[in-house]
Amino acid sequence: MIITYLGGESFKVSFGDTTLAFNPISKDSKLKSAKFGADVVLSTINHPDMNGVDQVSFGEKKPFAVNGPGEYEIKGVFIKGFGSTSEYDGEKRINTIYSVALEGMNICFLGAINEEALPKEADENIDGIDILFLPIGGKGVLDASKAYKLAVSLEPKLIIPMHYGDIGAEGALKTFLKEAGENPKAEPKLTLKKKDLEGKDAEVVVLEKE
């Protein structure tokens, strides 16, 4: 699995010949978008910063779009979506938390959540998290301190912070790393196999924006 950070809450996750796009940035967003072909796109809220299906339809790739709660299976990828809340960009919104199982690993993508604990349905159905994508920027989503407390309670093996820098409060990443007591060097991308997760316990991985 190769994880690439594209800014905001946007990530490309590739394994084999399959590519997932999480919260791709639309061409209508003020954020810089990236264009590539994806097989599946998962959008957590309906906002131009996170619903850019148009940007991940490329060449022969026409993605299956997942944009709300439910259960989905596409190309050997098992997805469960759970409703939560967000106040991103100053407006109350429905945010979808995604649990994604692939290559024997479990991803939890929290999106633009602003709740300090998982909603009951998500809490009852999500466990054994290997990789947690966590918003830390405040301004309608979790801030750095509340985000870290939620992350620890979920007991993931790896934590990938998002929603900072070009989006969210200034200094959010620095504050988050201080909360975590870590200072990892930012990596251009994360290449990961299941065996690489052995012995990990809430380890923070910071990815450079591509």
- Tens digits of residue pLDDT in 75-107: 999 999 999 999 999 999 999 999 999 999 999
Residue 208 has pLDDT above 90, yes or no: yes
pLDDT tens-digit series, residues 125-141? 999 999 999 999 999 99
Residue 153 has pLDDT above 90, yes or no: yes
Q: How far is CA 158 from CA 33, 76, 86, 135, 204, in A?
A: 26, 23, 23, 14, 6
Q: What is the pLDDT of residue 59?
A: 80
Q: How far apart are CA 102 and CA 193, in angstroms?
A: 11
Q: How far apart are CA 47 and CA 53, in angstroms?
A: 11
Domains of the chain: 2-204 (3.60.15.10)
Q: What is the pLDDT of residue 60?
A: 79
Q: What is the pLDDT of residue 133?
A: 98
